[in-house]
Copies of this chain bind each other. A is one copy, B any other.
């Protein structure tokens, strides 16, 4: 305990000394921040400096082993680091699927060579990763994927098409699922493999969403050669790896939607700009009721994520709650976006250009973007199936 307090003091001092002052107070929205990679762009030079200084200490991945360049911190120390960063209002030095998804997966399932090759690059932000799971015919039914990988000597030759690959056009490597045994039952012929996006035969094409943004790509794979040593875990046992990783993904999405109520303007304040009040009460009683219902549900949800966090801290085994957080968190965000639009009224109808404020335009885009939240990363319907089966034990 005394050690931990000593660590806290040192950490605080080190952060104060090393964090560029300009970045203090930076808040990152969804999709914002340092994503790293060969084609990296940074919000500003100080954010790049911040990445470098943290990466040098391994503190972009505080709990990863020091031998791979990680921070080597204990859970308790990592919490101290998070707390102190929060106290100084410092943003995350690095974000992305390397840290949240493939890194933890390699730590669990990777060979020593794979860890050596990839982990330090992730920690330094040198390589940006994307995820090649879904295919046009395999959305919710992921295991029906058809992308073929055929072993030829030391290489797998891969042909097929991936879709919904987040930021494939900005990424350097992809972790993906391929079918290596078409004869096996559908969950048993799948292999998890790592592919350099610079390989010949890889082509990406951004998908425009209804919000106008393009966070996803189609990825076309034509006779792409991938070294056999890039298989993670065992050939035809990729589904095991995939499930572990999907859990990381849901948890990540859920935490993105679960907790962020603190930093935002309250809806009551937002309403003051657009709607009439009678005394202290919003005149439109229907709108007022809807706001109240939303805000109360949002708080109950936040308390529930707090509870899950506290249970984890207390060492209780995690339940299968990630599906719940995914469903409820994304739906709450949709309700929030729809509600903000209803409050702004006709000012929420702008796409671009004259007559709308910047913040109104971006709120409207956020609303449109939010419709995808209950689809991407596993639809709400699939998550409900998971809860019914794994949490409630209902029969298939």
Interface residues of A (CB under 8 A from B): 281, 285-286, 288-289, 292
- Find chain B residues with CB under 8 A from A285 CB: 281, 285, 288-289
A288: chain B residues at CB < 8 Å are 285
Q: For the complex, what is the distance from the CA of A281 to the CA of B285, rounded to whole Å?
A: 10
Q: Complex formed: what's the CA distance from A289 to B292 in Å?
A: 12
Q: A281 — which chain B residues lie within 8 A by C-beta?
A: 285
CA distance A285 to B285 in the complex (A): 5
Question: In the docked arrangement, what's the CA distance between A116 and B225, Å?
Answer: 86
Report chain B residues within 8 Å CB of A289.
285-286, 289
**Complex: how many Å from CA A281 to CA B286?**
12
Q: Which residues of B contact A286 (CB under 8 A)?
A: 289, 292
| Pairs A–B under 8 Å by Cβ, sample size 7 | A281-B285, A285-B285, A285-B288, A285-B289, A286-B289, A286-B292, A289-B289
For A292, what are the chain B residues with a Cβ–Cβ distance below 8 Å? 286
The oligomer's copy count stands at 2
Top 5 nearest A-B pairs by Cβ distance? A285-B285, A289-B289, A286-B289, A285-B288, A285-B289
Per DSSP, are chain A's interface residues mostly helix, strand or loop, or mixed?
helix
Min CB distance A279 to B, Å, is 10
> Which residue of chain B has the shortest Cβ distance to A288 in the bound complex?
B285
CB distance from A276 to the nearest CB of B (A): 14
Of chain B, the residue at the smallest CB distance from A285 is B285
Instruction: Kindly provide the distance from the CB of A205 to the nearest chain B CB, expressed in whole angstroms.
Output: 33
Bound complex: CA A224 to CA B285 (Å)? 63
Tell me the bound Cα distance from A285 to B292 in angstroms. 11
- Taken together as a complex, chains A and B put the C-alpha atoms of A194 and B288 apart, in Å, by 58
Q: How far is the CB of A376 from chain B (nearest CB, A)?
A: 26
What is the CB-to-nearest-CB distance from A297 to chain B, in angstroms, rounded to a whole number? 14
Give chain B nearest CB distance to A219 CB in angstroms.
32
Bound-state Cα–Cα, A288 to B281, Å:
14
Give A292 to B285 CA distance when docked, in angstroms: 11
A292-B290 Cα distance, complex, nearest whole Å: 13
Question: Complex formed: what's the CA distance from A286 to B285 in Å?
Answer: 7
Closest-CB distance, A365 to chain B (whole angstroms)? 29
Cα distance, A286 to B289, chains bound together (Å): 5
Nearest B-chain residue to A281, judged by Cβ = B285
Distance (Å) between the CB of A285 and the closest chain B CB? 4
Please measure, in the bound complex, the distance between the C-alpha atom of A127 and the C-alpha atom of B285, giving whole angstroms: 54
- Expressed in whole angstroms, the minimum distance between the Cβ of A138 and any Cβ of chain B is 20
CB distance from A394 to the nearest CB of B (A): 15
Give complex CA distance A153, B104 in Å: 78
Nearest CB in chain B to that of A292: its residue: B286
The residue of chain B having its C-beta at the shortest distance from the C-beta of A284 within the complex is B285
Query: Once bound together, how far apart are the Cα atoms of A289 and B291, in whole Å?
Result: 12
Cα distance A292–B289 when bound, in Å?
Answer: 12
A281–B281 CA distance with the chains assembled, in angstroms: 13
Whole-angstrom CA separation of A289 from B282 in the bound complex: 13
Closest to A293 in B: B286
- What's the nearest-Cβ distance from chain B to residue A268, in Å? 14
> Which of A281, A288, A289 has its CB near the most chain B CB atoms (within 10 A)?
A289
Task: Report Cα–Cα, A281/B292, bound state, in Å.
Answer: 19
